[in-house]
Structure 1
Amino acid sequence: MPLRALYVDFNSYFASVEQQLRPELRGRPVGILPVLAETTCCIAASYEAKAFGVKTGTPVWEARKRCRDIVFVEARPAVYVELHQRLVKAVESCTPVGQVLSIDEMACPLMGSEREREKAVALARQIKQTIAREVGEHLRSSIGIAPNTFLAKIASDMQKPDGLTVLEAADLPQALYRLELRDIPGIGRAMESRLWRHGIRTVEQLCAANAAQLRAAWGSIEGERMHARLAGEELPPSDSQRASVGHSHVLPPELRYEASAYSVLNRLLQKAAMRLRSYALVAGEVSVTVRFRQHEETWDWRAAQRLDPTADTRALLHALDVLWRQRPRTRAEPFAVGVTLTQLTSATQRSRDLFTDTEEAERLNTALDAINLRYGKNTIYFGGAHAALAAAPMRIAFQHIPDLTVEAD
Structure 2
Amino acid sequence: MRNAPTILHLDMDAFYAQAEQASKPSLRGKAVVVGGLGPRGVVATASYEARVFGVHSAMPMGQARRLAPNAAYLVPRFSFYRSISEQVMGLLRALSPLVEPLSLDEAFVDLEAGEAAWDSESARLAGIRLRADIRRVTGLTGSVGLAASKMLAKIASEEAKPDGLVLIEPGTERALLGPMSVRTLPGVGPATGDHLRRAGITTVDELAEAGEDELVRLVGKAHGHGLYAMALARDDRPVVAERETKSVSVEDTYDVDIHDRTRVELEVRRLAERCVSRLRGAGLSGRTIVLKVRRYDFSTLTRSETLRGPTDDPTVVREAAARLLDSVDTTGGVRLLGVGVSGLADFTQEDLFAQAVGEGRDEERAEGGGEETVPAAAPVVEEAVPAAHRWRPGHDVRHAEFGPGWVQGSGLGRVTVRFETPESEPGRVRTFRVDDPELESSDPLPLVRRPGDGAAIAAAGSGAENPGVSAGNS
Measured in 1, the distance between the counterparts of 2:162 and 2:93 equals 22
Measured in 1, the distance between the counterparts of 2:244 and 2:348 equals 32
Q: Tell me if the contact between 2:285 and 2:348 (Cα under 8 Å) persists in the aligned partners.
A: no
- Describe the shift of the 1:103–1:213 C-alpha distance in structure 2 as closer, same or farther (beyond 3 A): farther
Q: Tell me if the contact between 2:289 and 2:320 (Cα under 8 Å) persists in the aligned partners.
A: no
Tell me by how many angstroms 1:50 deviates.
Answer: 1.2
Report Cα offsets for 1:282-302 as digits up to 9, x if no partner.
Answer: 967788xxxxxxxxxxxxxxx
| Structure 1 residues 83-102: aligned runs within 5 Å | 83-102=84-103
Report Cα offsets for 1:159-178 as digits up to 9, x if no partner.
Answer: 21111111123322121234
Q: Secondary structure in 2 aligned to 1:131?
A: helix
Q: Tell me if the contact between 1:142 and 1:156 (Cα under 8 Å) persists in the aligned partners.
A: yes
- Describe the shift of the 1:194–1:242 C-alpha distance in structure 2 as closer, same or farther (beyond 3 A): farther
Q: Which amino acid aligns with 1:131?
A: I
Tell me by how many angstroms 1:27 deviates.
Answer: 0.9
Q: Which residue of 2 aligns with 1:364?
A: none
Measured in 1, the distance between the counterparts of 2:357 and 2:203 equals 56
Measured in 2, the distance between the counterparts of 1:47 and 1:324 equals 35
| Structure 1 residues 8-407: aligned runs within 5 Å | 8-35=10-37, 37=38, 40-60=41-61, 62-67=63-68, 69-111=70-112, 114-136=117-139, 139-229=140-230, 230-236=232-238, 242=246, 310-311=308-309, 384-389=361-366, 391-393=374-376
Measured in 2, the distance between the counterparts of 1:312 and 1:141 equals 34
Measured in 2, the distance between the counterparts of 1:9 and 1:283 equals 30
Report Cα offsets for 1:149-202 as digits up to 9, x if no partner.
Answer: 111101111121111111123322121234322222211012213323544222
Measured in 1, the distance between the counterparts of 2:110 and 2:364 equals 48
Tell me by how many angstroms 1:308 deviates.
Answer: 8.1
Tell me by how many angstroms 1:382 deviates.
Answer: 7.8
Q: Tell me if the contact between 2:285 and 2:310 (Cα under 8 Å) persists in the aligned partners.
A: no
Q: Tell me if the contact between 1:173 and 1:207 (Cα under 8 Å) persists in the aligned partners.
A: no
Q: What is the TM-score with the length of structure 2 in the denominator?
A: 0.53
Measured in 2, the distance between the counterparts of 1:79 and 1:212 equals 49
Measured in 1, the distance between the counterparts of 2:376 and 2:29 equals 28
Extract unaligned runs of 5+ from structure 2.
251-268, 292-301, 327-337, 367-372, 378-474
Q: Which amino acid aligns with 1:30?
A: V
Q: Secondary structure in 2 aligned to 1:169?
A: coil
Measured in 2, the distance between the counterparts of 1:124 and 1:380 equals 56
Measured in 1, the distance between the counterparts of 2:374 and 2:17 equals 22
The range that moved more, 21-30 or 9-18, is: 21-30
Measured in 2, the distance between the counterparts of 1:140 and 1:213 equals 42
- Describe the shift of the 1:211–1:30 C-alpha distance in structure 2 as closer, same or farther (beyond 3 A): same
Tell me by how many angstroms 1:76 deviates.
Answer: 1.2
Q: Tell me if the contact between 1:182 and 1:189 (Cα under 8 Å) persists in the aligned partners.
A: yes
Q: Tell me if the contact between 1:94 and 1:126 (Cα under 8 Å) persists in the aligned partners.
A: no
Q: Secondary structure in 2 aligned to 1:142?
A: strand
**RMSD of Structure 2 on Structure 1 (CA):** 4.9
Q: Which residue of 1 aligns with 2:433?
A: none
Tell me by how many angstroms 1:9 deviates.
Answer: 0.7
Q: Tell me if the contact between 1:88 and 1:97 (Cα under 8 Å) persists in the aligned partners.
A: no
Measured in 1, the distance between the counterparts of 2:207 and 2:155 equals 15
Q: Tell me if the contact between 1:97 and 1:109 (Cα under 8 Å) persists in the aligned partners.
A: yes
Q: Which amino acid aligns with 1:54?
A: V
Q: Which residue of 2 aligns with 1:335?
A: none
Larger helix proportion of the pair: 1
Q: Tell me if the contact between 1:91 and 1:131 (Cα under 8 Å) persists in the aligned partners.
A: no
Tell me by how many angstroms 1:98 deviates.
Answer: 2.5
Tell me by how many angstroms 1:222 deviates.
Answer: 3.9
